[in-house]
Chain A
Amino acid sequence: MPFATHLVCRECGKKYPLASLTACEECFGPLELDYDYAAIQKSLSREMLQSRPPNMWRYREFLPLSEPPKVGFDVGFTPLIHARRLGDTLGLKNLYIKNDAVNHPTLSFKDRVVAVSISKAIEFGFRVVGCASTGNLANAVAAQAASAGLESYILIPEDLETVKIMATAVYRPRLIKVRGNYDTVNRLCSEIADEKGWAFVNVNLRPYYAEGSKTMGHEILEQLNWQVPDNVVLPMAGGSLLNKINKAFNEFEKVGWIQKNTAKFFGAQASGCSPISTAFKENYPDIQPVKPKTIAKSLAIGNPADGYYAVETIRRSGGRADDVSDEEIVEGIQLLAETEGIFTETAGGVTIGVLKKLVEEKHIHPDEVTVAAITGQGLKTVEVLSETTYSIPIINADYDDFEKVLK
């Protein structure tokens, strides 16, 4: 029984039936899914929810599918870790890490959005799916399309990390490198989606795709035992994740499972591509696009479609946006690994780097409950680390040599 009722334009409020649409046809504003929350409240309780299997579909009433999911059956319900050692280092008593670096099947939070959008594409009758991607989305679309036997077309900027390319190519999609940055690839995909009538998950299935991110927020609240965190720190590429975690918190408020969404939202970017954090800090009325230049390629979106609303969400919540340098990103990766045993990709380094800055500048306080989201896996961006940093000795298989190295 679906509870999603219609699509509604965030800009002008025009309503649409649940169809494959990129944006509002009147004003091009982004389309949001609306639900019958009163009906959800009547048919579902926290107790019923907790008896369901540990994956993102336990929140299916808050997702826009009309039929059971078609792909990604085990996605989600990733660990929420009480990060005591990182917390000690930073001076936080109640720090939690939401670890989507171990999401299933492709080790990033994109598995969530793809599980929803490909399932929806199949409901709509599409036989071909595709995406423009900075890497993680490519991995997720290629894998989940393969599992459903769908043809997939995946367009990526030519300079992506090798692992992200190979971890897409292995599923045998039609993988195409495009000369230029992500924004260029996106523009091309928009034209292709118009011409070919394929389901591009981040273009003509965008409203459904984006809803998948909410489950990360649902999980955070359930895993905190229905306590609303004081602060949530999230990486920002296009800005959609931050808006959707906020929406997830609002939803649980609407159905009465939490008291009030009082969380402050903090957005993290790389200084080499920080159109959203710059708009926040400089008080711009709109987002000014930039040409990305950062090692955090999964966040390298110079023209972030949901950036305007991310700034609005951050402001309304009393949070902040900030950015860190490439050096600080690598330090962030290193710090999380050393203290918590979690290896994250560059986007996670951005989140940890900005978290550190926010604590140092006293925007986040020691006793508050803070959740930082790790959205991707370190193995995918190993090239930002250098073996020389670790001065790794080589010895003969000789016990005396081993003793020498210990000195």
Chain B
Amino acid sequence: MAVSVKLPRPFRRMTQGQTEVLLNGSSVRELLDDLESKHPGIQEKIFDDRNQLRRFINVYVNNEDIRFLNGLDTPISENDKVTVISAIAGG
């Protein structure tokens, strides 16, 4: 099942200009694995050397931060909206 995943601007050079990509997987981790297989090298930007999400990367499933859900194991079903963004300053 393919889910649409929105990526931050700096990723565009690695996805041939696409800001939204269709990925397969039943969890956030599987989606990000599929992202790597379609656009090799991109995971290095998302994960640190402990294989955890980088400190300043936030992933949302249907507008909820995955740290409030099940982290990278958060299940994904059809029509879910997944967004990857960088952390933003306060106001």
Binding site for B on A (CB under 8 A): 11, 22-23, 25-30, 110, 131-134, 136-138, 180, 182-184, 186-187, 189-191, 194-195, 201-203, 206, 209-210, 237-240, 286, 288-289, 291, 301, 303-306, 308
CB <8 Å contact, B89 and A305: yes
How many B residues touch the partner, as a band? 20 to 34
- Contacts A28-B54, A238-B89 given; does A303 touch B65 at CB 8 Å: yes
Q: Which residues of B contact A27 (CB under 8 A)?
A: 45, 54, 56
Minimum C-beta distance from A203 to chain B (A)? 6
CB <8 Å contact, A286 and B88: no
CB <8 Å contact, A303 and B56: no
CA distance A306 to B86 in the complex (A): 12
With beta carbons under 8 angstroms apart, the residue of A11, A26, A134, A189 that contacts B55 is A11
**Residue from the set A22, A238, A288 with the largest chain B CB neighbour count within 10 Å:** A22
CB <8 Å contact, B88 and A203: yes
**Residue from the set B10, B68, B85 with the largest chain A CB neighbour count within 10 Å:** B85
Q: Which residues of B contact A23 (CB under 8 A)?
A: 56, 86-87
Q: Which residues of B contact A194 (CB under 8 A)?
A: 8-9, 19
Minimum C-beta distance from A212 to chain B (A)? 12
Q: Which residues of B contact A183 (CB under 8 A)?
A: 65
Minimum C-beta distance from A182 to chain B (A)? 8
Q: Which residues of A contact B10 (CB under 8 A)?
A: 25, 28
CB <8 Å contact, B55 and A308: yes
Q: Decide yes or no whether B39 CB sits under 8 A from chain A.
A: no
Other A-B pairs, 10, CB within 8 Å; known A183-B65, A202-B89, A238-B89: A27-B45, A132-B91, A180-B63, A182-B90, A194-B19, A202-B91, A203-B88, A237-B90, A238-B91, A289-B65
30 A-B residue pairs with Cβ-Cβ distance under 8 Å, sorted by A, are A11-B56, A22-B86, A23-B56, A27-B56, A28-B8, A28-B54, A28-B57, A29-B56, A132-B91, A134-B91, A184-B63, A187-B60, A187-B88, A189-B88, A190-B85, A190-B88, A191-B83, A194-B8, A194-B9, A194-B19, A195-B19, A202-B90, A203-B89, A210-B89, A237-B91, A286-B55, A288-B67, A303-B65, A305-B56, A306-B90
- Contacts A289-B67, A305-B56 given; does A191 touch B6 at CB 8 Å: yes
Minimum C-beta distance from B72 to chain A (A)? 15
